[in-house]
Amino acid sequence: MIVHPIAPIYDENSKVLILGSFPSVKSREAGFFYGHPQNRFWKVLAKVFGEITPETIEEKKAFLLRNNVAVWDVIHSCDIEGSSDSSIRNVVANDLNEILKLADIREIYVNGKTALKYYKKYTEPKLGIDAKCLPSTSPANAQWNIERLVEEWKCIRTEGN
């Protein structure tokens, strides 16, 4: 059983919440979300918000908060082999209430179909809030190039951004 090692990023100004499934090995090693160098999450978000791609953990945190974006994952703990989503077993979901109580979340998005699957199974029944599924920024989602991802992800921009 592996417990999620990364705290959620959010503050009272966060308007959108983006949920992945569970951190990859590279993200767990880096100690931050989307730590695999091939994952396009940071590049896509930078293009969506018209900014330079953040590099350090501090830059990434500041980027998210500046753009009113909260980030976490659906899964709190699970059994997983490496970074393989298909190997995920014995899921315990994160409690999103800590974010929802403090932040002004208007939309919840999931990064890919695996996150959607676990959100629908474990989180949606408790919260009663639908999540919108965006195409995964994972390098495994090779049929989506960066331009297509940016077009689909533009919906995360909120008024005032």
Active site members: 39
Backbone angles phi, psi at 128, to 5 degrees: 70, 25
The span from the CA of 94 to the CA of 4, in Å, is 9
The span from the CA of 116 to the CA of 134, in Å, is 9
The span from the CA of 28 to the CA of 10, in Å, is 19
